[in-house]
Amino acid sequence: MSTGAIFLMGVFAVTVLIDMPIAFGLVLSCLAYLAVYDAAPLMVAAQQYVSGLDSFTLLAIPLFILAAQLMNGAGLTQRIVRLCAAIVGDIKGGLAVVAVLACLLFGALSGSGVADVVAIGSLLLPAMARSGYDRGFSCALVGSAGAASTIIPPSIVLIVYGTITDTSVGKLFLAGIVPGILLGLSLIGVAIWQARRHGWAGGQPFSWGELRAAFFEALPALLVPVLIIGGIRFGIFTATEAASSAIVYALLIGFFWYRTLTLKSLWENLKSTGESSASILLIIGASGLFAWVLVAEQVPQALSSLLVHWTDSKVTVLLLLTVVLLLLGTFMEAIPVIIIVAPVVMPVLAHYNIDPVHFGILLSINMAIGANTPPVGVDLMAACKIGGINMMQTLRPLSWMMLAMTAVMLLLTFVPELVLFLPRHVQ
């Protein structure tokens, strides 16, 4: 690796250690590199920053965030939780299972782990506490399930990865369905096992009448994934156009079906969307600038050359990248990791004939695990804030959930057809 790349990474590491916001740290390290090495005029930094945001596909991010805000404001979250509770009934640990199922279903509306955790956690964490569930377990479960749901379309993480690597977002969405379900099942298994060990209760007894009522009440929410995936699958619209359609759908059901949205709540949702989108896009622009410097310093070629001389095994390369991603995910949020890492590893993927769709899903799962790993752990942090506890109280139950998610990731690493089956066969 060149001295310029080492200097760049060193300055960025210092900004992380002093807890500088990621977007500022990325920009500062790039400006320091350009100033010290005189590689290009400083004006180029501004050009590359803007260039990193110049993508029609990225417009899907604020649109999906707004759609999720509107659906939450319309009351779809409560209806999803009611449906999940009706399905699960009073089995031992039923509330924990409801939490996982609700996170997965709401994830199919929001595409954001933090939004998922906040929406579902606000409803279920107090209920789980009243039912005697350990608060550390509950927060760890909701944080993990919220992060796992970002593998399921319309995942913002997958949109960013597809944009950066020029990979079909539609194929990534299809590829995320089976892994998302497997992650959910693994967390449900841990939840039931822990609930039986500690004697935690379930919910109300199962009733066909309640299930029917809950299903029809939640049906508009259940149709959203069909609208998004079906529209993209049949070529009716792109991911960005799908997000716009989801907004129109949310407005219709919020104003005219449930009649729970008001002009005041619409304005609040627009402001919240603007704040969330701005923070994400600031990071994307800064990460794009950082990735440009890495490419200029030929870091991708150096990494590819190193791995080629070290191993010929595709699986070994994926496992090595997994270790690196897990470490990065511990200290950084998902989007900057993806934007920085993806351009660097693409030559490696091409040399080893690794499908970028397969790697994109593995990368997303790594980031889901990182979103619940201290010290950053944004999803876990959000759950703990709602639950009113310290992150340290979650570490013991969290370890089982991280093991379950890691086991699923390893399964998908060794059996890539579980990821690639739908993108290859659903044309």
pLDDT (tens digit, 9 = 90+) per residue, 316-329?
A: 888 888 888 888 88
Evaluate whether residue 91 is within a structural domain. yes
- Look at residue 400 and tell me if it is in a domain: yes
To 5 degrees, how large is the angle CA 182–CA 188–CA 194? 140
Please enumerate in sequence order all residues whose Cβ is within 8 A of that of 27, keeping only pairs 6 or more positions apart, or say none.
Answer: 45, 49, 286, 289
Q: pLDDT category, 304, cuts 50, 70, 90?
A: low
pLDDT at 399: 92
Range of the domain at 228: 56-285+294-425
Residues 160-169 pLDDT 10s: 898 888 898 8
Q: Which of 141-155, 191-205, 223-237, 410-424 has the highest mean pLDDT?
A: 410-424
Q: Give pLDDT, residue 360.
A: 94
Residues 6+ apart with CB under 8 A from 381: 143, 391
pLDDT recorded at residue 352: 86
In a domain, 51, yes or no: no
What's the rounded Cα separation, in Å, for the pair 150 and 310? Answer: 33
Query: What's the confidence (pLDDT) of residue 1?
Result: 59
Q: What is the C-alpha to C-alpha distance for residues 8 and 329, in angstroms, rounded to an integer?
A: 19
Question: Which parts of 316-413 are beta strand (E)?
Answer: none
**Does a structural domain hold residue 252?**
yes
Residue 123 has pLDDT above 60, yes or no: yes
Q: Are 261 and 74 in contact (CB under 8 A)?
A: yes
Examine residue 49 and state whether it is found in any structural domain, yes or no.
no
Residue 26 lies in a domain: no
Model confidence pLDDT, tens digit, residues 225-251: 788 777 777 777 777 788 888 888 888
Cα(339)–Cα(343) distance, integer angstroms: 7
pLDDT for 250-292, tens place per residue?
888 888 888 888 888 888 888 888 887 887 788 888 888 888 8
Q: What is the pLDDT of residues 143-158, one digit of tens each?
A: 999 888 889 888 888 9
The better pLDDT of the pair 226, 172 is held by 172
φ, ψ dihedrals at 371, nearest 5°: -70, -10
Query: How much is the average pLDDT of 213-232?
Result: 82
245-252 CB contacts, 8 Å cutoff, 24+ apart: 246/63, 246/64, 246/67, 246/109, 246/154, 247/63, 247/66, 247/67, 247/70, 249/67, 249/223, 249/224, 250/67, 250/70, 250/71, 250/74, 250/224, 251/70
In the chain, pLDDT over 70 holds for what percent of residues? 96
The length of the chain in residues reads 427
Q: What percent of the residues of the chain are helix, what percent strand, and what percent coil, each to the nearest 5?
A: 80, 0, 20
Cα–Cα distance, 43 to 64 (Å, whole number): 32
In a domain, 171, yes or no: yes
User: What is the model's pLDDT at position 186?
Assistant: 95
Q: What is the mean pLDDT of residues 371-394?
A: 84
Residue 211's pLDDT is: 86
Is pLDDT at 427 greater than 60 in this prediction? no
Between 181 and 12, residue with greater pLDDT: 181
The domain total for the chain is 1
Cα Rg of the chain, angstroms: 21
Average pLDDT of every residue of the chain: 84
Is 47 inside a domain boundary?
A: no
Please give the share of the chain, as a percent, with pLDDT higher than 90.
17
pLDDT of residue 301: 67
Whether the predicted pLDDT of 137 surpasses 80: yes
Q: State the pLDDT confidence band at 38, using cuts at 50, 70 and 90.
A: confident
Of the candidates 215, 133, 187, which has an alpha carbon nearest to the alpha carbon of residue 368?
A: 187
Banded model confidence at residue 300, pLDDT cuts 50, 70, 90: low
